[in-house]
Every structure is written in structure tokens, then in C-alpha cells.
Amino acid sequence: MDRVTIVCFLASYAAALALELLYQIRPLRLVRWLALAFGAAGLIAQTIFLAVQQPPLIWQYGWMLFLAWILAVFYLVGSVHHRRLSWGLFVLPLVLGLVGLGAAFGRPVDSAHLPSGNVLSIPAAWGIIHGWLLLLAAVGLCVGFLASMMYLVQAHRLRAKTLPGHGLRLWSLERIEAMNRRAIVLAFPLLTVGMLVGLVLMFQEHLSGWTDPRVLASAVLWLTFAVLLYLRFGYHLRGRPVALLTILTFVLLVGCIALPHWGQGGGR
């Protein structure tokens, strides 16, 4: 069990993606089953890894791996339920990207011990709630991001008048748009509440000030998200602009996670 490393599931997901690509060229049932098998093997390996290592959510490293794990489940469930769709081609690169980013963050230097002071001093339950709310909001944003990518590809296919049934198999524009709408509608309240909990905890415990890059990046993320929702529901903006804004919000989310790490040179 201890010998399961990030490379194990990263390689499995990469093999699954390669097979999904192969399936587009040679749509053989065996290739699809092999892709699913590699995806499932990756998920099992990642589950074992997370169960053994138990990286806390407060580390970007752990947070990314948990997020990737949820999306890997999303890949498997989606692939089984929507066998005719090119589902894996969209989800697996994101899973790989998140795992890769997690690996790039790496375990904090002082990973032998949980961060002391600012983390252990906050009320544990609220800290966990804060972490999970942000994680679930991130899942929503990831789904929105995936839907937006699918939307752009489908819109491109329609613009080019690609023959139905040729090339990638995707849902209709309407269904993809609905998937994006649901994802962002669920993600925004989670993000808002999660951030409010974080702010309260931060100021109560004097963890950091307004100039903290995490606070600033989170504020920008929240504002962008709010603008996206306003344009979508207040201004009835639909289609490609909404997809592009969702992608921007997702990029900001990744930035919010990465900025403190590379800004401060730490792993938390």
C-alpha cells in the first residue's frame, strides 16, 4: 500500500486518456473497455494513496489531489452512463492537470508535522467546513469549466457545420449549457459561504491581512464569479461568452490556489 505513488495513478490516467484518443480513431469496444479499466485502476490507486497518506485539505497538494479524485470518479461514472459521448477526452486532461499541479506543489517542507500555529489554533470544525465548502465549490467550477470546453467545441463543430455523428460525440448545446448553468449556480453559494467562513476565521485568529495574496486572489475570483452570474441571469447572456467567462473563473480559481504557493514558496 505504501508503495503507491502519484506516478502510479498519473500513469494510469495518462494511459486511459491515450486510449480515449485512440478510440476516436478506432472506435473498438475493447479500446473503450481498456480506457475504463485504466481509469478505474488509476482511481483505485489514488484512493489508496489518499487513504494512506491522508494529505490535509489545507495543503494545496492535498486539496488538488482530492479535487482530482472527485473528478476521476466523475470521469468513470460519466463514461459508464454516457458511453457514446467523448466524455473522457474532456475530463481526463483536467484530472491529469490537477494531479500534475498537486505533484508540482508537492508536500510542504515541514510535512512531517501539520502546520502549527495559524492552522491548529483555528476552531477545527469550522476549518474543516471552510475547506470542504471551497473544495465542493471548486468541483462545481471544474464541472462548469468542462461544460464550457464542451460547449466551445460543440459550437465550433456547428459553426463549421461538421456532419452529425462524425468526429467527437457531444451533447447538444442546450444540454451542455444546462450542465454549466447548474454547476455555477451550485458553486457560487458554496464559494461565498466558504470564503465568508474563511474570512471570519482569518480575522478572528489574526492569520493574515487584506494584503495577503490569498485574500486578494480570492476576492478577484469571487468578483469574477459574481459578474459571471449577473451577466448570465441579470443580463440573459448565453452561449459562448458565458462559456468563456466560466473558463476565466476556473483559471482564476487555479491561480488562487497556485499564487500563495509560488508567491510565498510554501506548500500550503
Partner 1 sequence: MILLAIGCSYKTTPVEVRERLAFKDEHLSRAHTELCAGFDCEAVILSTCNRVELYAGFVLDDGGALTQPRSPSPRELDAEFIAEFFADFHNLPVSAVRPHLYVHYQAEAVRHLFRVAASLDSMIVGEGQIAGQVKKAYEQAVHDDSVGPLLHNLFRHARRVARRVRTETGIAHGHVSVSSAAVDYVKQVFDHFGDKTILVIGAGKMGELTLKHLRQLKPRHIWVTNRSADKAQSVAKGCGGEAMPWQRLDDLLARTDIVLSTTGAAEPIVTRQRYEQIAARRTGGPLVILDIAVPRDFDPSIHDGDRTCLFNIDDLKRIREATLADRFKHVEPAEAIVQQETNAFLKDWARRRHGPVIARLTQDFESKRREIVGELLSKLNGRLTDADRRHIEGAFRLLLNRLLHGPITALTEEPHSDGGGHTLLDALRKLFRLKE
Contacting residues toward partner 1, per CB under 8 A: 154-161, 163-166, 171-175, 177-178, 236, 238-240
Q: What DSSP character marks residue 163?
A: P
**CB-nearer residue toward partner 1: 239 or 263:** 239
Contact 160, 145 (CB under 8 A): no
- The sign of the torsion formed by the CA atoms of 134, 140, 143, 148 equals negative
Least Cβ distance, residue 154 to partner 1 (angstroms): 7
Distance, in Å, from the CA atom of 243 to the CA atom of 177, rounded to the nearest integer, reads 8
| Nearer of residues 2 and 174 to partner 1, judged by Cβ | 174
Cα–Cα distance for residue pair 268/256, rounded to 1 Å: 12
Q: How far is the CB of 221 from partner 1 (least distance, A)?
A: 26
Shortest distance, position 241 Cβ to partner 1, whole Å: 9
Q: Which is nearer to partner 1, 107 or 182 (CB)?
A: 182
Nearer CB in complex with partner 1: 83/156: 156
Q: Least distance to partner 1 from the beta carbon of 237, Å?
A: 10
CA dihedral sign, ordered 225, 229, 232, 236: negative
Backbone angles phi, psi at 43, to 5 degrees: -65, -40
- The CB-of-15 to partner 1 minimum distance in angstroms stands at 28
Q: At what angle do helices 240-264 and 213-229 cross, to 10 degrees?
A: 170
Burial class of 41 by CB neighbour count within 10 A (0 to 12, 13 to 18, 19+): middle
**Residue 59 or 90 having the CB closest to partner 1:** 90
